[in-house]
Amino acid sequence: TVRNITDNIMNEARTLTINTAHLDKVDHYAANPDSTNYSDLNALIEYCHSYTNTLKHLHSIYIYGDGANTILTDYGIFDFKNFSDHGWYEEYLKLNKEETVIFARKKNNYYPFFITIIHPIYPADVNKKGAVIININIQEMTDVFYSLDMNSLSTQKFYITDDNNTVIYSEEQRDL
């Protein structure tokens, strides 16, 4: 069913976000980006690429290092100020403990429509050093539903809610 598919995609992405935030190489990159060796950086880039290349609905994975103000993606490493997507950053700043936040947004207030999942990185010390950000492309995700040829989809609406049952996506939002 649509609900099962959505739940699986969301649970998979949340788990990936949390697990990635707890990788030793990610901890090291977030805490000491300048001292992270080249092979570890390449391994992280390939790690991100392996998921975005395999899971069609997974648009991007960002690993944000607060100390150096850099973002590692499946395409390389970028200075935050030169990075093309800052739409998640305000939510990141609000995080003050190890928690996962999920919200809907448009990349740079334009397109595509994302469900973004953020989990902060807390290496050995107690200070937040960055975050793992995963962006799910809602169009790609909903295309899966329509490809199932479910007759009921033509007469029903679907919603995606967060853990508090707050609607974070409905089809009406696609045209915003």
Burial 85-100 (b: 16+ CB within 10 A, else e): bebbeebbeebeeeeb
Asked whether the predicted pLDDT for residue 144 surpasses 90, the reply is: no
Q: For residue 104, is pLDDT > 90?
A: no
pLDDT of amino acid 113: 85
Give the Cα separation of 46 and 40 in Å (integer): 10
Q: How confident is the model at residue 176 (pLDDT cuts 50, 70, 90)?
A: very low
Q: Which two tokens stand for residue 10?
A: 């969301």
Full-model pTM:
0.88
How far apart CA 171 and CA 157 sit, in angstroms, is 7
The pLDDT of residue 131 is 97
